[in-house]
Amino acid sequence: MSTASILVFPMHNQNWLFASENLFFQHVKNSRWRAQRNGLPQGSVLTLCVSTAEYAAPVWAASAHAKHVDVAINETARIVTGCLKPTPVNSLHPIIGVAPPSVRRAAATDAERTKQETDARHPLHQHEPAGRRLRSRKSFMARSHTLEGSIENNRVTRWTQQLTTREPPREEMVPGKHLPFAVWKFLNRLRTGVIRCKTNVLKWGMSEDDDVICSCGQLQDMSHLLVCPQLEEGCTHEDLILCNDNAIAAAVFWKDVV
């Protein structure tokens, strides 16, 4: 077996594994068993996929093929949250409380570097890296740094630097996972602002006519779904984050309408 085959074959196996896991979760999510028994806990789904994706990550994190693992993790996030495909990836990770794959791999790499420098049992302890001859080479010693603080704090710091939202990221799932999946997924769609309202359906070319008027007589865009007169009480973005009664009532009302 050639060197190229040795490098590519494990990645092929990993992609196949992710595809099988996501297909299984997709079937469970849409099955009657999922509706009656609330299916697999979202945390179990994420733990299974994320732990698989990070196996030996400090070794292969700098590979050009590492980004292909991100696709499978992002698809898992869409399945768990119930969000639509046009939803930006950066909006999915705060909902599930898991940092982006690139952030987690970088933190895992720095954690391994810390072990290398502090643990005498580490195979690379007191190892002096050789000079780099090719710029394309990205050795572990050259691209890693010692952690300052815990790996959890390192992940959150890196994650915060990537986000453009006001809310700081937290490594825990947002409130509402106890709700029925139909309500949970619609609540998440309201949180991300990507939903099948009439203006979006027309924008995506999925509307048979140009009707963008809600049954209440107003323009039905994303902001209208939160303040529609048909709701008993209006809803704000803060309500959606907290998952209070107003947010749940809005999700329950709209889940069978749009």
* Residue of 143, 14, 12, 153 lying closest to 73 (CA atoms): 14
User: Based on the domain organization, do 138 and 225 belong to the same domain?
Assistant: no
User: Based on the domain organization, do 87 and 186 belong to the same domain?
Assistant: no
Residues 6 or more apart whose CB falls under 8 angstroms from that of 214 comprise: 198, 220, 224, 228, 230
User: Based on the domain organization, do 126 and 55 belong to the same domain?
Assistant: yes
Q: Please report whether residue 156 resides in a domain.
A: yes
Please give the structure tokens belonging to residue 236.
């704000």
Q: Please report whether residue 131 resides in a domain.
A: yes
What's the angle, vertex CA 48, arms to CA 43 and CA 54, rounded to 5? 115
pLDDT of residue 32: 45
**Which of 15-29, 113-127, 210-224, 240-254 comes out lowest in average pLDDT?**
15-29
User: Based on the domain organization, do 95 and 213 belong to the same domain?
Assistant: no
Q: Please report whether residue 197 resides in a domain.
A: yes
Range of the domain at 248: 181-254
Indicate the residue among 162, 194, 223 that finishes a domain. 162
User: How many folded domains does the chain comprise?
Assistant: 2
Q: How many angstroms separate the CA atoms of 215 and 198, rounded?
A: 11
4 — pLDDT class (breaks 50, 70, 90): very low
Q: What is the mean pLDDT of residues 41-67?
A: 83
**Alpha carbon of residue 207 to chain centroid:** 29
pTM, entire model: 0.79
CA distances from 222 to 47, 192, 204 (A): 32, 10, 14
Please give the structure tokens belonging to residue 251.
């999700």
110 — pLDDT class (breaks 50, 70, 90): very high
User: Based on the domain organization, do 74 and 18 belong to the same domain?
Assistant: yes
The angle that helices 3-30 and 67-81 make with each other, rounded to 10 degrees, is: 10
> Mind listing the pLDDT tens digit for each residue in 118-128?
999 988 888 88
> Mind listing the pLDDT tens digit for each residue in 141-176?
888 899 988 999 999 999 999 887 767 888 999 999
Q: 214: helix, coil or strand?
A: coil
Q: Please report whether residue 47 resides in a domain.
A: yes
Q: What is the mean pLDDT of residues 178-196?
A: 94
pLDDT, mean over the chain: 83
**Which one is predicted more confidently, 78 or 48?**
78
User: Based on the domain organization, do 19 and 145 belong to the same domain?
Assistant: yes
User: Based on the domain organization, do 240 and 148 belong to the same domain?
Assistant: no
Question: Do you know the residue count of the chain?
Answer: 258
Q: Please report whether residue 172 resides in a domain.
A: no
Q: Please report whether residue 66 resides in a domain.
A: yes
User: Based on the domain organization, do 100 and 150 belong to the same domain?
Assistant: yes
Q: Which residue has the tokens 């099955």?
A: 31
User: Based on the domain organization, do 200 and 153 belong to the same domain?
Assistant: no
pLDDT of residue 20: 53
Q: 79: helix, coil or strand?
A: helix
Percent of the chain predicted with pLDDT > 90: 52
1 — pLDDT class (breaks 50, 70, 90): very low
Please give the structure tokens belonging to residue 105.
């791999």
pLDDT at residue 111 above 60?
yes
Q: Please report whether residue 9 resides in a domain.
A: yes
Q: Please report whether residue 171 resides in a domain.
A: no
Please give the structure tokens belonging to residue 48.
């299974």
Type of residue found at 250 = A
User: Based on the domain organization, do 118 and 236 belong to the same domain?
Assistant: no
